[in-house]
Structure 1
Amino acid sequence: MNASPVGRPTRGTTGVNRLRRVDRWIARHPVLRRAGDPLVVDLGFGASAVTPLELHARLRRVRADVEVLGLEIDPDRVARARAQAAGMPGVGFALGGFEVPVPRGRRPAIIRAMNVLRQYDEADVANAWGRMCGRLDADGILVEGTCDEIGRVVTWIEVGADAVPRTLTVSLRLDVLDAPSIAAERLPKALIHRNVPGEGVHAFLTALDQEWARASAVAPFGPVHRWRTAVGAMRDAGWPVREPGRWRLGEVTVDWSAVAPRG
């Protein structure tokens, strides 16, 4: 196991239910359901064991044999998490960073890295993705993104084992939502500096704001109906949005080709 973890310490900010939106997205993902070895890594879990423990609790509802390994580059955080989770089966903790040290040569089905790359430069993202994805099972995925402090605004990118991004997902708490573009301040590092005219992600959030505003006509039917109307209009306008069954959760997933950085 690598004695010098690759990466920089995060702020360690964590909180109960902060990552619930991405957890439930991972729980329904086909990669988890069909994995021969359902090992999920929570990379950069923070100052306590709460997010790996919550992730395990949610995933075991669909895969009773799931294992979650929390990785941190701070030895004190690892020791604290081990003490907090003592005696809990299916969850472990180890020292590690982007090199993703996993014992016995196992290959994770999923690596979740939330709020890890925020402190890096955009130019560092491809290398970090490459390191993490190089440790995945051939059919595995990296889920990399950002959220606000209480998990009401969350965005993440699905990246394949080949380190090629596939989709961007935006997930929002609808009953307090003014405009979907609030997600701009919580975009993953690969996109957060691209929210400017001429870039795909800017066009996407602008169009989503416009359709949300137009859908105010159906607001009396509730925020979920309004959101589904707005995202349906995006689809009708040609945006490659996916997973209509999940729109009711305040989610929208769009093909990476529509939002990928230009130039």
Structure 2
Amino acid sequence: MHSRPVGTITRGTTGHNRLRRVDRWLAATHGHRLRAASDPLVVDLGYGAHPATAVELFARLRNVAPRTELVGLEIDPARVHRALPLRRDGLDFKLGGFELPLPGRRPVVVRAFNVLRQYPVEEVPAHWELLRSRLSPGGIAVDGTCDELGRRAAWITLDGHGPQSLTLSVKFATLDRPSDVAERLPKALIHRNVPGEHVHRFLQAFDRAWAEAASVAPFGRRQRFLRACTAMQQSGWPLLDSPSRWRLGEVTVAWSAVAPGSADRRPDHQGP
């Protein structure tokens, strides 16, 4: 039993539409979980100094799952107090941290964005474990990071068994090469983007596929990205989504392909 919120007060910087990329992905790829749930509860963990992004997530998820309820959790009482005037049917704000203090309820979805990035990397596994222990059966948690304007983002999806995937999402106008998103990798991976690590090999392979797709560059970055993702999949990388997501500047790869650990660096080995 936790007597006080588990976590540390973060900077709390946020802004309208900053998290639109992960919101739209959650609605499109996990809305079915909320529609099927008897208690379609979502937690926005660490929503920051202003609750704008929590309100936006609530609205976007309600568009695809009208019974969705969302609770924004913050460990700073002042932030909770400032958010209370925005409460409405299905939307609430409470004091809490990674322990998710919601007696009798387990969330279907937890979004923790730009939170763990501000923690020491050695603390990440314990916080993941605590979050996962609070999920409803079949629920997911998303640990992610994005830039100040939400144009580049990356997130790890966890379920009750552990991390399952890494998603990269970029606005095409900001993209020079796929590895540009490396600076926004979640805490568990950002320091692993070095030679010999799986995530580094993945990003390097993606950059090569992007370079080899230069022939379609005159048709725009979207077509080049689609071509690069197709090449990655054909070479054996376990991409978990399809062109319908790639055309949005988004790609999801199985966690096994990017998890921390020594990578096979044989030059003739393109896939995992």
- TM bucket normalised to smaller: over 0.9
Point out 4+ residue stretches in structure 1 off by more than 4 angstroms: none
Return the match for 2:62 from 60, 63, 78: 60
Q: Say what the alpha-carbon RMSD is for the aligned residues.
A: 1.3
Hey, what's the Cα distance between the residues in 1 that align with 2:34 and 2:225? Answer: 28
Q: Equivalent residue for 1:153?
A: 152
Match of 2:134, SS? coil
Shift of 1:100: 0.6
Unpaired runs of 5+ in structure 1?
Answer: none
Q: TM-score scaled to structure 1, two decimals?
A: 0.95
Partners of 2:255 and 2:33 lie apart in 1 by 18
Asked if residue 222 in structure 1 is aligned to residue 220 in structure 2, the reply is yes
TM-superposed CA distance for 1:227, in Å, is 0.6
Which letter maps to 2:54? P
State the AA in 1 paired with 2:53. Answer: T
CA distance, structure 1, for counterparts of residue 177 and residue 52 of structure 2: 30
Which amino acid in structure 1 is aligned with residue 36 of structure 2? R
How far did 1:3 drift? Answer: 4.7
Secondary structure of the corresponding residue to residue 134 of structure 1:
helix
CA deviation profile, 1:145-171 (whole Å, cap 9, x unmatched): 111011011000110123x11000000
Residue identity (%): 58
After TM superposition, the structure 1 = structure 2 runs for residues 114-193 of structure 1, keeping only pairs within 5 Å, are 114-162=113-161, 164-193=162-191
- Structure 2 residue identity aligned to 1:210: R
User: How far does residue 2 in structure 1 lie from its aligned partner after superposition?
Assistant: 5.3
Number of residues paired by the alignment? 259
Tell me the CA shift for residue 54 of structure 1: 0.2
Amino acid at match of 2:134: R
> Per-residue CA shift, 1:164-208, capped at 9, x if unaligned?
110000001112211111111110111011000110100011111
> Residue by residue, what CA displacement relative to the aligned partner does 1:39-93 show, whole Å, maximum 9, x if unpaired?
000000001110110001100111111011000000000000112x14x322100
Q: Does 1:99 align with 2:99?
A: yes
- Given the alignment of the two structures, is residue 236 of structure 1 paired with residue 240 of structure 2, yes or no? no
Deviations 1:129-160, CA, capped at 9 Å, x for gaps: 01111111011011111110110110001101
Q: Which runs of 5+ in 2 are unaligned?
A: 263-272
Confirm or deny: 8 A CA contact 1:2 1:96 kept in the other structure: no
Aligned counterparts of 1:249 and 1:35: Cα–Cα separation in 2: 28
Residue 51 of structure 2 aligns with an amino acid whose one-letter code is A
User: What SS is found at the alignment partner of 2:143?
Assistant: strand
